[in-house]
Amino acid sequence: MGMFETLILILDSTVRLAIPLMFAALAGLYSERSGIFDIGLEGKMLAAALAGAAAAAVYGSAWIGLFFAIVVSTALASVHESTRTTQRVPSTSAKSPRSARIRFMRSSVAMLTPPFSMAAFSAGMPKASQPI
């Protein structure tokens, strides 16, 4: 394999693996614009990807893995929101309808990114029924 092909493969993998992080950065931007600072987006993505991959491996269905990833991400987002509201953390515009829409969009983006990153990493993994 030549130098040019190696460079193309490296650039391809860089763009492919950076897309979930770009979605998380976009979700962080929207949440920050609404006045809610969420620094745990990558952790939510990793927990949802782990839960989704584990459920897909155990049950043998990518749809069940997607369901588990969405459930875990939503649970972590609701823990973040309940902690923020019960501890009375001040936010600049928490009562505005725009802030509620942005919080919903942030959760949706965080829920959708783990399946994409999981699909990128699981493409070369053997199936659970195949011996290693």
45-54, 64-73, 86-95: the lowest-pLDDT one: 86-95
pTM above 0.75, yes or no: no
HEC string of 51-102 equals HHHHHHHHHCCHHHHHHHHHHHHHHHHHHHHHHHHHCCCCCCCCCCHHHHHH
Rg (CA), the chain: 18
Q: Which two tokens stand for residue 105?
A: 């969009």
CB 64 within 8 A of CB 46: no
Return all residues near 100 (Cβ < 8 A) that are at least 6 apart: none
pLDDT tens string 11-68: 999 999 888 888 888 888 887 887 777 778 888 888 999 999 999 999 999 999 999 9
**Secondary structure class of 124 (helix, strand, coil):** coil
